[in-house]
Amino acid sequence: MMNEPIMIDLHCHSNVSDGALSPTDVVKLAATNGCTMLALTDHDHTGGIAEAREEAMWRGIKLISGVEISVTWNGCTIHIVGLNFDEHDGSLQKLLAQIRAGRIERMRQMSDKLAKQGITGAFDGAMALAAANPEMVSRTHLAEFLLNEGHVRTKQQAFNKYLGEGKSAYVRHQWADLGEAVAAIRGAGGVAVIAHPMRYDLSATGRRRLIEAFKAAGGVAMEVHSGSSKPNDCLQYSLLAQRYDLQASCGSDFHRLHDYSGGILGRCPTLPAFCEPVWRHF
């Protein structure tokens, strides 16, 4: 059936990174929504996988190990999802720890920029919101602080006004190298996926170069649907994946209920029949 959703979600977050729910509660909600295969893909951290796997076992969900790695490529922040790897792999864990290391200092710098604009208490506020895992404090937490304190009316506005690239409280950050991230995922036995390609501010040429660099590094798949993608994106990105001989992945990018991205945790729209699903061999 064409428009029936598939009960697969290979991209979502828990409070181990910038999601609101514990790994257990993420799995519970996915199960409620009918999910049969789920990957928890916290930013730069695999600490929630064991808990999610335990809960998934009781719920009859196939839990795939996952992570969403922050990468700087050509000056742009790109997210690379790793799927179906050994989360105990030493080289992968070393890379993830390196990526996480600068987050608290970066939060201090962003908060200083906000203080200069008259917004005080941002550092303590964001750290309090990231209490479940302070080392993973992120712009999401800072946006939530700005919203809670009435400085903005929506989180989206926090990004548009203060936190987005080039905005008044933005701090440039050097994440992992693209080749390093893909190699670490592959070295741990997993597959590398370009996350939400529709979200990057790249020209058609830039997008092509990214895909070529990603493939040259050993990447094999691309998300053709993400919770934040628009209705026409899925076909467009499925065709792009086909043209570059990339497998197709999909995920809600769920962070919390009633969030800016409209994805329902645990399910995705049916992909075009010509797609080669990345999960076929999971």
For residue 155, the partner it binds in ligand AMP, Mn ion, none, with Cβ less than 5 to 8 A by kind, is: ligand AMP
Q: Which of 10, 47, 49, 79 binds Mn ion (CB under 5 A)?
A: 79
Residue 78 host element (H or E)? strand 76-83
83 vs 113: CA distance, rounded Å: 36
- And the tokens for 92? 């992968």
Contacts of Mn ion in 237-266 (CB under 5 A): 253
Q: Which part of the chain contacts ligand AMP (CB under 6 A), choosing from 111-119, 152-160, 233-241, 273-281?
A: 152-160
CB of 40 to ligand AMP, least distance (A): 14
Residue 166: Cβ within 10 Å count: 7
- Collapsed DSSP state (helix, strand, coil) of residue 39: strand
Token duo for residue 46: 């695999």
CB of 223 to ligand AMP, least distance (A): 14
Separation of alpha carbons 213 and 71, rounded Å: 13
In contact, 37 and 274? CB cutoff 8 Å:
no
Q: Please state the closest distance from residue 254 (CB atom) to ligand AMP, in A.
A: 10
Give me the residue whose beta carbon is nearest to Mn ion.
Answer: 79
Q: Could you give phi then psi for residue 148, rounded to 5 degrees?
A: -60, -35
Q: How far is the CB of 139 from ligand AMP (least distance, A)?
A: 4
φ, ψ (nearest 5 deg) of residue 70: -80, 125
Query: Is residue 156 close enough to count as binding ligand AMP by CB under 6 A?
Result: yes
Number of residues in the chain: 282
CB of 211 to ligand AMP, least distance (A): 21
User: Closer to Mn ion at the Cβ: 58 or 260?
Assistant: 260
Burial of 257 (0-12, 13-18, 19+ CB in 10 A): exposed
Site for ligand AMP in 157-216 (CB under 6 A): 159
Name which position in 140, 229, 247, 252 contacts ligand AMP (CB under 6 A): 140
The smaller minimum CB distance to ligand AMP, of residues 18 and 233, is found at: 18
Write the binding mask 152 to 191 for Mn ion: x where contact by CB under 5 A, - elsewhere.
----------------------------------------
Query: Which residues from 5-34 bind ligand AMP, rule CB under 6 A?
Result: 18
Q: Which secondary structure element, helix H or strand E, spans residue 43, and what is its range?
A: none
The per-residue b/e assignment along 49-76, b for 16 or more CB within 10 angstroms, e otherwise, is bebbbebbeeeebebbbbbbbbbbbeee
Instruction: Please tell me the distance from the alpha carbon of residue 33 to that of residue 122, in angstroms, as a whole number.
Output: 35
Cβ proximity of 168 and 117 under 8 Å = yes
Contact call for residue 18 and Mn ion (CB under 5 A):
yes
Comparison of 133 and 270: residue with beta carbon closer to ligand AMP = 133
Say whether residue 255 binds ligand AMP (CB under 6 A): yes
Tokens, residue 48: 């929630």
Q: Which positions touch ligand AMP (CB under 6 A)?
A: 18, 43, 70, 138-140, 155-156, 159, 255, 260
Residues that bind Mn ion (CB under 5 A): 18, 68, 79, 195, 253
